[in-house]
Amino acid sequence: MEREKQSISSISKWSLFMKDLAIALDLINILTNKIKPYQWPELVFAGSKEILGEKLTLTKEMVETAHTHFDRTADKQVMKFMNQNIKFDENSSSHEFIINFIETLPAESIPDSIKYASFTCLCNIPSVYIQTRVKFLYLFNIFLQRTLPDIDFSVTSGIGFIVDRIRSVRHYILFVIKFEIFNTALTRTAVNLESSEVNIKFDIVKASVAEHQEDTMFYQAYKQLKSDASRIFRRMEGEQVWKATYVGMFSNDQGGPYRDSITRICTELCSTRLPLFILCPNERTNNGLNRDRWIPNVFPPNQSIPIDIKNQYRFVGQLMGMAIRTKQYLDVRFPILLWKQLIHEEVTIEDIEAIDISSFAIINEMEENIRKVKSLNECDDDGVNNNCDYLFSSIMTELTFDVVSSTGQTYELIPGGFHIRITAANFEDYCMHYRQYRINEFYRQIEFIRQGLYSVVPWADLTVFTAHELEEVVCGKGYIDIEMLKRHTDYDGDHESSPHIQQFWSVLSDMFSEEQKKLFLIFVWRRSTLPYSDNDFSTNFTIAHLETSGNVDEALPRSYTCAFTLQLPAYSTKEIMYERLNYAITYCSSIDTDGRMN
Question: Domain containing 528 — which CATH number?
Answer: 3.30.2410.10
Strand 565-568 with 541-545, pairing:
parallel
Task: State pLDDT tens for residues 551-562.
Answer: 999 999 999 888
Catalytic residue list contains 562: yes
Assess whether pLDDT exceeds 50 at residue 595: no
pLDDT given at position 571: 93
Range of the domain at 207: 199-344+449-475
317 with 465, same domain: the answer is: yes
Assess whether pLDDT exceeds 60 at residue 519: yes
163 with 239, same domain: the answer is: no
pLDDT band at 317 (very low <50, low <70, confident <90, very high): very high
How much is the mean pLDDT over the chain?
Answer: 87
pLDDT given at position 359: 87
pLDDT band at 479 (very low <50, low <70, confident <90, very high): confident
pLDDT band at 424 (very low <50, low <70, confident <90, very high): confident
pLDDT given at position 234: 94
Q: Whose CA is closest to 457, among 320, 315, 598, 573?
A: 320
Q: Which amino acid would we find at residue 217? A: M
Has residue 169 been placed in a domain?
yes
Q: What is the average pLDDT across 358-363?
A: 85
Assess whether pLDDT exceeds 70 at residue 394: no
Choosing from 155, 173, 191, the residue where a domain stops is 173
Assess whether pLDDT exceeds 90 at residue 412: yes
Residues 6+ apart with CB under 8 A from 464: 148, 153, 166, 167, 170, 173, 178
Has residue 284 been placed in a domain?
yes
400 with 470, same domain: the answer is: no
Has residue 255 been placed in a domain?
yes
Has residue 325 been placed in a domain?
yes
117 with 162, same domain: the answer is: yes
Has residue 127 been placed in a domain?
yes
145 with 270, same domain: the answer is: no
Annotated catalytic residue within 121, 388, 562, 588:
562
460 with 326, same domain: the answer is: yes
pLDDT given at position 195: 59
pTM of the full structure: 0.86
pLDDT given at position 90: 52
Percent of the chain with pLDDT over 90: 61
Has residue 349 been placed in a domain?
no
Q: What is the average pLDDT across 27-38?
A: 77
Has residue 352 been placed in a domain?
no
Assess whether pLDDT exceeds 90 at residue 361: no
Answer positive or negative: Cα dihedral of 139, 140, 141, 143: positive
pLDDT band at 596 (very low <50, low <70, confident <90, very high): very low
pLDDT band at 445 (very low <50, low <70, confident <90, very high): very high
d(CA 590, CA 598): 6
275 with 204, same domain: the answer is: yes
d(CA 559, CA 584): 10
pLDDT band at 448 (very low <50, low <70, confident <90, very high): very high
Q: Which amino acid would we find at residue 544? A: A
Q: Which amino acid would we find at residue 270? A: C
Alpha-carbon dihedral of residues 161, 163, 168, 173, nearest 10 degrees?
140
168 backbone dihedrals φ, ψ, rounded to 5°:
-70, -20
289 with 379, same domain: the answer is: no
Report the domain count for the chain: 4
More confident residue, 596 or 309: 309
132 with 42, same domain: the answer is: yes
pLDDT band at 388 (very low <50, low <70, confident <90, very high): low
d(CA 428, CA 415): 17
pLDDT given at position 430: 92
169 with 283, same domain: the answer is: no
pLDDT given at position 597: 38
Choosing from 138, 173, 208, the residue where a domain stops is 173
Choosing from 130, 157, 173, the residue where a domain stops is 173
244 with 266, same domain: the answer is: yes
DSSP class of 564 = T
pLDDT given at position 8: 44
395 with 500, same domain: the answer is: no
Beta bridge partners of 560: 565, 596
Answer positive or negative: Cα dihedral of 52, 56, 57, 63: negative
pLDDT given at position 589: 64
Has residue 144 been placed in a domain?
yes
Strand 596-597 with 591-592, pairing:
antiparallel
d(CA 203, CA 26): 59
Q: 142 to each of 67, 135, 421, 465, 474, how far by Cα in Å?
A: 19, 11, 58, 17, 27
Q: Which amino acid would we find at residue 373? A: V
Proportion of the chain in helix, strand, coil states, percent, rounded to 5: 55, 5, 40
pLDDT given at position 284: 85
Asked if the peptide bond before residue 126 counts as cis, ω within 30 degrees of 0, the response is no
